[in-house]
């Protein structure tokens, strides 16, 4: 009966639960009202239209710069990659994209949440009056519009801490520049310098370029493609948002779609590599899908050729090659043109398909290096060029004097020697001027990067 009585009437515990729930709802309501206070203050019904700017000064709103017409670099890059010779250029930009562009420090999911909670406002001048209203993430921006974010959001207005570099380091990084215009910067990346930061990496080219290669630009150069840490050669970076997205589209098309024979190759990269052995044919095309496999220890993985691509996750990869020069010592110089952009594509194709692993590639060619006999001392007495080897270490702890084929442990002999790509600055300038794109007369830019010192030594030694 006592249990029945408890079911028929409210027990003390149930009363406490209801009371606690009521208090939580009240607290949540107060919190929600406090969060929405700044939102309501910009409502046209609650205050004059011209007070939005004043509220930004008091910290209640964070006002972004006025929107200016920009080129859709992604659309332009895709059009160029698809061999479209003419078309209308799209300059539409959504409110979400404009916020992310002005505040790159803000996480994308946080910005999307602000739009979902309807806490973002747009201020624009219409009929001589300044109006302010709610805006959605997909709404298109008009020239002169301003986006207002709640002042309670930690927008991280403070600039990122720049990496401290000595004058010697700045001078060295700037000495790597092969080409610079208002849209792009092209550098000759030295071997041993990581392109991007990560675990155990103290200095990367991405961080160094922000300090050394920004010049008079307010934003640092942005990466659009990668090079392995131990490889060297041409690396392209975008200097503006439009040029970066434009280049991203070009490199992405190269990566995700094998080039059509009919289509004009707008992006060309030529690598020089020294390999152990010699391919059976002097030139040819390697077409072998690649995939990632986990090694037995479960802590590391590697890229390999996939024999059954239909039942195994893989990506198609195509590399064109030709023999530059063969040596009587058992080495061969190759020129390799990757027609797709896969991780370790050249290294795996050379080692597993051609049977000629790269010199210094102990990840994919360690067995060949174990069997390799070091050149006799008579061949290693001096560099045939007659130049003395500079043993002085460069800034950032780089050492480019050692690692040739004459050393017991050679460095990776893979260098991006040449690159051809469209004149990005001209393309973007034409779009802004005419409002459409016509790539029929667009010129290409060609860059050449000299070999690093140890590869140059290997060339001279093997030529003797």
Widest Cα–Cα separation across the chain: 108
* Sequential DSSP letters for 170-214: HHHHHHTEEEE-SSEEEEEEPTT--SS--TT-S--HHHHHHHHS-
3-state helix, strand, coil in the chain (%, to 5): 30, 20, 45
Cβ atoms 433, 91 nearer than 8 A:
no
Residue 460 in contact with residue 113, Cβ under 8 Å?
no
Q: What is the CA radius of gyration of the chain?
A: 30
Q: How far is 350 from 352, CA to CA, in rounded Å?
A: 6
Answer whether 325's CB lies under 8 Å from 333's CB.
yes
Token representation of residue 216: 């008079």
Q: What is the sign, positive or negative, of the torsion defined by CA atoms of 73, 74, 77, 82?
A: negative
d(CA 426, CA 146): 29
Distance between CA atoms of residues 65 and 72, nearest Å: 19
What are the backbone dihedrals phi and psi of residue 97, each rounded to the nearest 5 degrees, phi first?
-65, -35
Nearest to 130 by CA among 55, 46, 51, 37: 51
Among residues 139, 181, 228, 407, the one annotated as catalytic is: 228
Nearest-10 crossing angle of helices 424-434, 73-81: 110
- Spatial distance between the Cα atoms of 197 and 185, rounded to a whole number of angstroms: 19
DSSP code per residue over 232-245: EEEEEEESSHHHHH
The question of whether 407 is a catalytic residue gets the answer no
CB-based contact 106:120 (threshold 8 Å): no
Query: What pairs with residue 459 in β-bridges?
Result: none
Locus of tokens 């010697």:
168
How many CB atoms neighbour CB 35 within 10 A? Answer: 13
- In 44-83, DSSP assigns E strands to 61-63
Measure CA of the first residue to CA of the last residue in the chain; give whole Å: 106
Report d(CA 329, CA 294) in Å as an integer. Answer: 35
Residues counted in the chain: 464
Phi, psi of 254 (to 5 degrees): -70, -35
Q: Which residues are part of the catalytic machinery?
A: 228
């Amino acid at each position: 009966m006592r249990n029945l009585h408890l079911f028929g009437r409210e027990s003390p515990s149930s009363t406490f639960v209801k009371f606690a729930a009521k208090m939580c709802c009240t607290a949540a309501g107060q919190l929600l009202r406090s969060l929405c206070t700044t939102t309501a203050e910009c409502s046209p019904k609650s205050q004059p239209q011209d007070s939005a700017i004043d509220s930004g000064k008091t910290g209640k709103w964070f006002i972004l710069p006025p929107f200016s017409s920009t080129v859709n670099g992604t659309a332009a890059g895709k059009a160029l990659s698809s061999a479209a010779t003419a078309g209308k250029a799209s300059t539409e930009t959504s409110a979400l994209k404009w916020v992310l562009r002005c505040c790159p420090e803000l996480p994308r999911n946080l910005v999307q949440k602000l739009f979902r909670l309807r806490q973002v406002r747009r201020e624009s001048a219409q009929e001589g009056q300044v109006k302010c209203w709610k805006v959605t993430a997909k709404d298109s921006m008009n020239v002169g519009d301003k986006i207002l974010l709640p002042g309670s959001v930690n927008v991280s207005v403070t600039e990122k801490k720049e990496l401290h570099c000595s004058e010697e380091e700045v001078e060295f990084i700037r000495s790597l520049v092969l080409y610079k215009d208002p849209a792009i910067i092209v550098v000759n990346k030295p071997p041993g310098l990581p392109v991007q930061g990560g675990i155990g990496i103290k200095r990367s080219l991405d961080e160094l370029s922000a300090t050394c290669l920004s010049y008079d630009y307010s934003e640092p150069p942005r990466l659009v493609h990668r090079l392995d840490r131990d490889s060297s050669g041409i690396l392209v970076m975008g200097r503006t948002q439009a040029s970066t997205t434009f280049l991203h589209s070009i490199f992405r098309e190269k990566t995700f779609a094998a080039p059509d024979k009919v289509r004009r190759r707008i992006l060309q990269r030529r690598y020089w590599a020294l390999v152990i052995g010699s391919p059976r044919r002097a030139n040819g095309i390697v077409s072998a899908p690649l995939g990632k496999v986990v090694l037995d220890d479960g802590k590391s993985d590697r890229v390999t050729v996939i024999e059954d691509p239909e039942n195994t996750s893989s990506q198609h990869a195509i590399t064109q090659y030709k023999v530059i020069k063969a040596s009587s010592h058992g080495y061969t110089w190759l020129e390799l043109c990757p027609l797709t952009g896969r991780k370790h594509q050249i290294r795996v194709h050379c080692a597993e398909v051609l049977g000629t692993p790269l010199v210094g590639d102990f990840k994919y060619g360690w067995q060949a290096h174990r069997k390799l006999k070091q050149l006799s001392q008579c061949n290693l007495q001096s560099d045939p060029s007659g130049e003395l080897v500079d043993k002085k270490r460069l800034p950032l702890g780089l050492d480019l004097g050692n690692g040739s084929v004459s050393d017991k442990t050679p460095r990776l002999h893979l260098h991006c020697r040449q690159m051809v790509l469209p004149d990005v600055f001209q393309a973007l300038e034409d779009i802004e001027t005419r409002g459409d794109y016509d790539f029929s007369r667009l010129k290409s830019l060609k860059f050449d990067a000299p070999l690093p010192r140890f590869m140059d030594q290997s060339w001279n030694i093997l030529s003797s």
